[in-house]
Amino acid sequence: MTLLTAVTAAVICTIIWYRSEQRTEMKLGILCLMFWSASLMWLVDAFFEYAELGADYFAPAASDMLNDLYLGLSVVALGLIIWLIILLIKDPKGVVRAALFKKDR
Amino acid sequence: MACFLVPTAEAVVTTIATKVIEKKEKNNTEVSVSADEISLESTGKIPFSKKLKWLNNMLWGGSALLAFEHVWHGEVVPYFPFLTAAEDPASAAEMLHEMATAGVMMAVLVTAVWGCMVATAGFLEKRTSDDKAAKEERS
């Protein structure tokens, strides 16, 4: 479920990256790469778990699925927060700098 | 258990390599512009340091999210020895085995995907420069 959530986030981010004209300014590439990479890592985890559990891997308990979904959504939220911090620090549009150093009239 | 440490270690190495390569690329360009600013349009090629940054983003981003999963499962704790598996030798051996198998596989897979991205970018660079040359020939 965590893998599925991460892959879904990666696909959505990639579509937004492809359609957006401000992809460079908004640093959307970082978000895409982060989610795709996490998906690849969880895919490896899934392979090892499948090798251990066999077909049972595809029949998880409902409570495990719910916990994994909760984890997956938390991971997506964390990814978005990391991206937002990078965006605000790099501040490609100068919005933060303009807000901080704006002179009072 | 601690499989995310392998991609993290690779991320440290590639980040250092990126900084070194970026410096070299800066020295090689006559105009003092950062590697980021050397765009595909101006040189016809994406600087290798920029390609390495893709790998850095993948490794750091993926490792951070995976580390969070380990915190979630109580495998990483905020006090010494930080990894619960490191508390006894049997668990430590299991952890090292997981790092050597799953961890290495993760790092290899991410690097392989990055390799495919670089190869595709190289192909597109070549096609773009070929198109440019053909246009110049026609005009």
What ipTM goes with this model? 0.89
Short-list B9, B61, B12, CA closest to A39: B61
- The residues, any chain, with a CB within 8 Å of residue B15's CB and separated by 6 or more, are B56, B60
- Distance in angstroms (rounded) separating the CA atoms of residues B31 and A35: 36
Asked if the model's pLDDT at residue B128 lies above 90, the reply is no
> Is B3 in CB contact (< 8 Å) with chain A?
yes
On whether the CB atoms of residues A83 and A31 are closer than 8 A, the answer is: yes
Contacts of B94 in chain A (CB under 8 A): none
On whether the CB atoms of residues B85 and B50 are closer than 8 A, the answer is: no
> Is B61 in CB contact (< 8 Å) with chain A?
yes
Short-list B63, B52, B68, CA closest to B118: B52
Helix and strand numbers, DSSP H then E, in chain A = 4, 0
Q: Is the CB of A38 less than 8 angstroms away from the CB of B4?
A: no
> Is B58 in CB contact (< 8 Å) with chain A?
yes
Q: Which of A25-34, B40-49, B102-111 has the lowest mean pLDDT?
A: B40-49
Q: How far is the CA of A52 from the CAs of A57, B6, B78, B102, in angstroms?
A: 9, 21, 30, 13
* Averaged pLDDT score across all residues of chain B: 87
Q: How confident is the model at residue B96 (pLDDT cuts 50, 70, 90)?
A: very high
Give the 3-state secondary structure of residue A27.
Answer: coil
- DSSP run (H or E) holding A49: helix A28-53
Between A74 and B127, the higher pLDDT residue: A74
Short-list B78, B94, B77, B87, CA closest to B3: B94
Tell me which residues of chain A have a pLDDT lower than 50.
Answer: none
Between B70 and B135, the higher pLDDT residue: B70
Asked if the model's pLDDT at residue B99 lies above 80, the reply is yes
- Distance in angstroms (rounded) separating the CA atoms of residues B89 and B96: 10
**Within 13 Å of residue A64, how many CA atoms lie on the same side as its CB?**
7
> Scanning the structure block, which residue is given the tokens 């479920």?
A1
Asked if the model's pLDDT at residue B37 lies above 60, the reply is no
Contacts of A40 in chain B (CB under 8 A): 62, 106, 109-110, 113
**Range B99-117 average pLDDT:** 95
pLDDT at B134: 85
> Scanning the structure block, which residue is given the tokens 């020895």?
B81
Q: Is the CB of B69 less than 8 angstroms away from the CB of A75?
A: yes
